[in-house]
Structure 1
Amino acid sequence: MNFEKARFNMVEQQIRPWEVLDPDVLDLLMTVKREEFVPAAARSLAFADVEIPIGCGQVMLKPVIEGKILQALQLHRSDSVLEIGAGSGYFAALLAARTEWVRTVEIEPALVRFAHENLARYGVENVIVEEGDAVQGWASRAPYDVIVVSGGLPEVPKSLLEQLKVGGRLFAFVGSMPVMKARLITCEAEGRFRTEDVFETLVPMLRNTPPQDTFRF
């Protein structure tokens, strides 16, 4: 398989037509090698417009979804990032390539190992993979400039929003079947948030999603 041609086709035929036009994002998706983070048996699907199962009921998101998230977040080199749901480690690698550091927290031990091994083999040094349940946030290094929730939530927990710096951005998939809102929340001032629903999709829910104590928008 010609991975470079497949990567180019992914960007030009899937991601760019979905109005992901930020050149930095497109360059990033051309640079970080997605095929290094997929399960070995699915390597031929690394650039396909599909969710790739990675075990434990979780998936790698479609490339177009990853591109839309990156474009919405407008990452900066000085950003500190919390990712909830490490998965394969690929999205953490994308985030790490444009920010100062990333802490990615995964509840499934098998995926903690998978993400850590992938990131180490690929040589990513500014990502820490930790095992735990971060659905309510990860307070040890809060506040963060960016929080990315890689699975679905019925609502955004108040505790997550409280871990954003002023000017910080949170991206989450909010709702339930048959459709979720891909939501960008920006902290404009202490306790004040601006919300934008960027697109609609459906992704697997996070484990232990909170039933209450949420902000509703």
Structure 2
Amino acid sequence: MADFAQRRMTMVDTQVRPSDVTSFQVLDAMLSVPRELFVPPGQKDAAYAGTHVGLGQGRVVLAPRTMAKLLQAADVQPDELVLDVGAGLGYSSALASCMAEAVIALEEDADLAREAERALSEASADNVAVINGALVHGSSKHGPYDVVLVEG
């Protein structure tokens, strides 16, 4: 059985911190969110590798370093509403939920949206709502947004 908590700590110490990610919010989120819940079942052992994890059809869960840099640049604040466009399996939404008041996770693939809801529930990311809809249309119904994340 893999020790995912140890892998998570190693990921932050060897991939994220050396990439000049200094935001305590981002580091704390990455240490607390179990990335293995947000990758396809057959790829759990690769969850903490320093690469993107494929979701099919050209979609990916961004590499830890890339995700951390994106979140640090976004500078999400505790009173902000975040729109996560192309949320995939929900990892970025779970991370943002640790920093924001609420997150709207927009995903156009119904299967990915369903799996994101499951993973977010398992991760206790209770301030995230998953919306299944076309990415190009956004989700203005729930806005205005303070931060918009756009992913692969």
TM-score range, shorter chain: over 0.9
User: What residue in structure 2 maps to residue 95 of structure 1?
Assistant: 96
What are the ranges of 5 or more consecutive residues in structure 2 without an aligned counterpart? none
1:10 aligns with 2:17: no
User: What residue in structure 2 maps to residue 211 of structure 1?
Assistant: none
The Cα of 1:21 is off from its aligned counterpart by 1.4
* 1:110-149 C-alpha deviation (Å, 9 max, x unpaired): 1111111111222221111111113243211221101111
Alignment-mate amino acid for residue 40 of structure 2: P
* 1:176-203 C-alpha deviation (Å, 9 max, x unpaired): xxxxxxxxxxxxxxxxxxxxxxxxxxxx
Alignment-mate amino acid for residue 25 of structure 1: V
User: What residue in structure 2 maps to residue 54 of structure 1?
Assistant: 55
User: What residue in structure 2 maps to residue 180 of structure 1?
Assistant: none
User: What residue in structure 2 maps to residue 161 of structure 1?
Assistant: none
Aligned length: 151
Q: What secondary structure does 1:135 align onto?
A: helix
| Moved segments of 4+, more than 3 Å | none
User: What residue in structure 2 maps to residue 177 of structure 1?
Assistant: none
Aligned partners of 1:59 and 1:37: how far apart in 2?
Answer: 11
The Cα of 1:24 is off from its aligned counterpart by 2.2
> Between Structure 1 and Structure 2, whose CA radius of gyration is higher?
1
Aligned partners of 2:44 and 2:35: how far apart in 1?
Answer: 9
User: What residue in structure 2 maps to residue 209 of structure 1?
Assistant: none
Aligned partners of 1:49 and 1:15: how far apart in 2?
Answer: 9
In the TM superposition, what are the counterparts of 1:143-154 in structure 2 within 5 Å?
Answer: 143-151=144-152
User: What residue in structure 2 maps to residue 142 of structure 1?
Assistant: 143
8 Å contact kept, 2:33–2:123: no
Give the number of the structure with larger relative contact order, counting CA–CA contacts within 8 Å between residues 6 or more apart. 2
Aligned partners of 1:35 and 1:43: how far apart in 2?
Answer: 5
Which structure has the highest strand share of the two?
1
What are the ranges of 5 or more consecutive residues in structure 1 without an aligned counterpart? 152-217
1:34 aligns with 2:31: no
In the TM superposition, what are the counterparts of 1:1-217 in structure 2 within 5 Å?
Answer: 1-151=2-152
8 Å contact kept, 1:56–1:108: no
TM-score of the two chains, using structure 2 as the length reference: 0.93
Aligned partners of 2:137 and 2:12: how far apart in 1?
Answer: 34
Q: What secondary structure does 1:123 align onto?
A: coil
TM-score of the two chains, using structure 1 as the length reference: 0.66
The Cα of 1:13 is off from its aligned counterpart by 0.9
Aligned partners of 2:101 and 2:34: how far apart in 1?
Answer: 20
